[in-house]
Amino acid sequence: MPKSILFVCLGNICRSPLAEALAKQFANKQGLDLVIDSCGTGSWHVGEAPCSDSIRVAKEHGLDISHQRARQINQEDLLYFDLIIVLDEKNLHDLKMMGAQNVHKLGAYGYNNEDVPDPYFFPGYEGFDKVYNMIDTCVTNLMTDIR
Ligand code: 4NP
């Protein structure tokens, strides 16, 4: 069983903060001793809180992600984390270019290996609702698998 999981998207302000929060919720409920974190491949939003639509959709499901702050992935992450879960194909490509080995797409855990679409460029509730549901299903399956 992995001891640490890192969720990676592009900006670390829309998708991976939700994955981090849902995985932490699962681990807490099941009493799993895991380090869980998220980050982005890009640096544009380093230090920022998650985007307002992600904060809102999380809140509607009883999760507070407003304290999270975006950070960019680094080489130490690749050594430290036992399992790296990316949100889409571009993230997968970027991580492999960095030399990551233990990397999988979140969509492999229940959505036929589909990308979790990037909602940043399609704001509005509907996109984020869909993204939340995809992430929720896949994170639950992932965490159940590794338990
Ligand atoms: P995320 O969404 O990868 O789900 O956090 C994005 C956030 C910001 C940008 C792209 C995607 N951006 O280009 O700034």
Q: How far is the CA of 128 from the centre of ligand 1 (A)?
A: 13
Tens-place pLDDT, residues 60-75 = 999 999 999 999 999 9
pLDDT digits (tens, 9 = 90+) for 7-20: 999 999 999 999 99
In CATH terms, the fold of domain 4-146 is Rossmann fold (3.40.50)
Separation of CA 1 and ligand 1 centre (Å): 30
Structure confidence at residue 79 as a pLDDT band (50, 70, 90): very high
Residue with CA at minimum distance from ligand 1 atom 6: 11
Q: How far is CA 102 from CA 51, 77, 120, in A?
A: 28, 11, 26
33-43 pLDDT, tens digit per residue, is 999 999 999 99
Choice among 88, 118, 136, 138 that is catalytic: 118
> Residue 86 is inside which H or E element, if any?
strand 83-86
Query: Is residue 15 flagged as an active site residue?
Result: yes
Cβ neighbours of 83 (radius 10 Å) = 18
- Centre of ligand 1 to C-alpha 44, Å, is 8
- Amino acid code (one letter) for 9: C
Q: Which pair of tokens denotes residue 77?
A: 């992450």
Phi-psi region of 112 (alpha: psi -120 to 50; beta: other; left: phi over 0): left
Q: Which of 53, 120, 122 to mutate to test the pocket of ligand 1 (most atoms within 8 A of CB)?
A: 120
Q: Which atom of ligand 1 is nearest to the CA of 50?
A: 5
Ligand 1 atom closest to Cα of residue 11: 5
> Has 118 been annotated as catalytic?
yes
Average pLDDT over all residues of the chain: 96
Sketch the domain layout of the chain as residue ranges. 4-146
Contact 84, 100 (CB under 8 A): yes
